């Protein structure tokens, strides 16, 4: 017997910040929403976000200059990037697709899309936060990138014309000017960049929980279950197969982060998503104060003032999501931060690790399954999950309603990886991918 879902029912798989944002936006649009997750809301990567609503992250991760530095970065014990040897074979497909993103035409297209999303990001997250009663958690005092090396600063400044082309307000600062903005910075800072319109969330986990509470108070249902599969049904809707039974909806949106890839594999080639684990160290009494997020340019991580203290967050560790965390990756952030901020009080510091869903071009995957219009998806935001959560939700809601999205998301579907492989194969750059 086939169950027929009401036409306004939508199932959202995943209760991280992207899933909750999508669910909240759909509820605002009049849909009856059910959120399905194996864990409580905001139990995963979203809860440990750096809290930096950055306007700087508009470039694909596999930039040519990063590839040149890759051997040095991989060999550094305290470097920002680690690939666990056992995980390297699972990154082969990811690496092949990253080759596409390095090509100039691809880089321009990716940057166009990320910039278009980013310039809309703050207004949409501020709006969604206000809707859920979380406005006090969102602020816009800008963000800094601080450098100890003039050479590193000069290299970063090569991107100034690109940021400005997209209307992103960024200013180069001298060492004295950056000290005026953030007196807690240590002596010897060569200078930096100030992104005037970047913002901050002072407690990402609490923001997501406010979303969840608002959803529930207004009729949304939360189901704790492990989702095994998502399939179209005979009525034109979709069915979510969970360990505890099946749930039928008119539409389903897969927002399960890294685990989205497995659910969507039946409808595409193997999704080139990898587990990029991020670490943070929470300092409850840091002994100094910052007014805004500060990114440390050479070691590539951030310090963000939070409700609970100072959060040092960053690094990338490509490893199996289930492998034991290496909390030395979090603890080293205290030592590195002291080179930029001076003495920090690490007493009571709490380390944390979460699994970022990383796609090889730095773009999220937003779209619907070809041939099965009841199954939608939004995942793979990597370092930009919180920043792009609300604009993603706007786009998904429009897509579910069959309306035009506020920005062009036509290039964000999973088919882009099929096309990328085809182009490189024609050029002889790679062998045919495995089926």
Domain layout of the chain by residue ranges:
9-426
Mean pLDDT (10-residue bins), the chain, 435 residues: 70 98 98 97 92 95 64 64 88 86 88 96 98 98 97 96 97 97 95 98 98 98 97 94 96 97 90 95 96 95 96 93 95 95 94 96 95 96 96 97 93 83 38 32
Cα–Cα distances in Å, from 26 out to 30, 78, 157, 285, 339? Answer: 7, 42, 40, 39, 45
Whether the CA torsion 23, 249, 229, 360 is positive or negative: it is negative
Strand pairing report for 170-174 and 191-195 = antiparallel
Per-residue pLDDT at 425: 36
Per-residue pLDDT at 81: 82
Q: For residues 222 and 397, what is the distance between their CA atoms, to the nearest angstrom?
A: 19
Q: Which two tokens stand for residue 430?
A: 């790679």
Q: Which two tokens stand for residue 200?
A: 């901050």
CA 428 vs. chain centroid, Å, equals 32
Residue from 210, 291, 289, 228 nearest 24 by CA: 210
The highest-level CATH class for domain 9-426 is alpha beta
Instruction: Give first-to-last CA distance, the chain, whole Å.
Output: 34
If one counts every other C-beta atom within 10 angstroms of the C-beta of residue 158, the result is 9
| Helices 17-28 and 385-401, axial angle in degrees (round to 10) | 40
Per-residue pLDDT at 70: 61
Are 184 and 341 in contact, with CB atoms under 8 Å apart?
A: yes
Q: For residues 387 and 356, what is the distance between their CA atoms, to the nearest angstrom?
A: 14
Per-residue pLDDT at 427: 38
CA atoms within 13 A on the CB side of 261: 18
Per-residue pLDDT at 3: 56
């Amino acid at each position: 017997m086939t169950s027929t879902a009401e036409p306004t029912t939508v199932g959202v798989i995943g209760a991280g910040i992207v899933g909750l944002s999508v669910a909240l936006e759909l509820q605002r649009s009049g849909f009856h929403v059910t959120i399905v997750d194996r864990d409580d809301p905001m139990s995963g990567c979203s809860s440990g976000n750096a809290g930096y609503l950055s306007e700087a992250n508009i470039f694909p991760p596999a930039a040519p200059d990063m590839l040149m530095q890759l051997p040095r970065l991989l060999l550094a014990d305290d470097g920002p990037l680690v690939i666990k040897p056992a995980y390297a074979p699972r990154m082969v497909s990811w690496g092949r697709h990253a080759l596409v993103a390095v090509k100039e035409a691809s880089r321009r297209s990716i940057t166009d899309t990320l910039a278009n999303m980013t310039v809309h990001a703050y207004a949409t997250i501020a709006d969604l936060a206000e809707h859920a009663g979380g406005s006090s958690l969102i602020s816009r005092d800008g963000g800094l990138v601080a450098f100890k090396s003039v050479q590193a600063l000069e290299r970063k400044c090569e991107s100034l014309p690109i940021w400005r082309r997209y209307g992103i307000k960024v200013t180069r600062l001298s060492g004295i000017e950056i000290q005026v903005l953030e007196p807690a910075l240590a002596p010897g800072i060569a200078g930096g960049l100030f992104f005037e319109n970047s913002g901050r969330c002072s407690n990402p986990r609490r923001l997501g929980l406010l979303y969840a509470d608002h959803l529930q108070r207004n009729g949304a249902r939360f189901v704790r279950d492990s989702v095994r599969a998502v399939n179209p049904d005979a009525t034109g809707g979709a069915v979510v197969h969970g360990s505890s039974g099946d749930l039928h909806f008119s539409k389903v949106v897969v927002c399960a982060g890294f685990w989205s890839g497995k659910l969507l594999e039946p409808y595409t080639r193997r999704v080139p998503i990898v587990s990029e684990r991020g670490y943070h160290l929470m300092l409850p009494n840091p002994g100094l104060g910052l007014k805004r997020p500060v990114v440390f340019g050479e070691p590539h991580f951030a310090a963000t003032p939070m409700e609970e203290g100072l959060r040092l967050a960053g690094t990338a560790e490509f490893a199996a999501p289930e492998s034991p965390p290496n909390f030395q990756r979090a603890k080293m952030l205290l030592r590195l931060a002291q080179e930029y901020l001076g003495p920090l009080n690490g007493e009571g510091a709490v380390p944390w690790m979460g699994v970022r869903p990383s796609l090889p071009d730095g773009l999220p995957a937003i779209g619907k399954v070809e041939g099965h219009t009841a199954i939608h998806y939004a995942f793979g935001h990597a370092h930009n999950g919180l920043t792009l959560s609300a604009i993603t939700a706007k786009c998904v809601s429009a897509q579910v309603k069959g309306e035009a999205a506020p920005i062009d998301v036509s290039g964000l579907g999973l088919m882009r990886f099929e096309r990328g492989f085809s182009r490189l194969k024609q050029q002889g750059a790679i062998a045919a991918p495995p089926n």
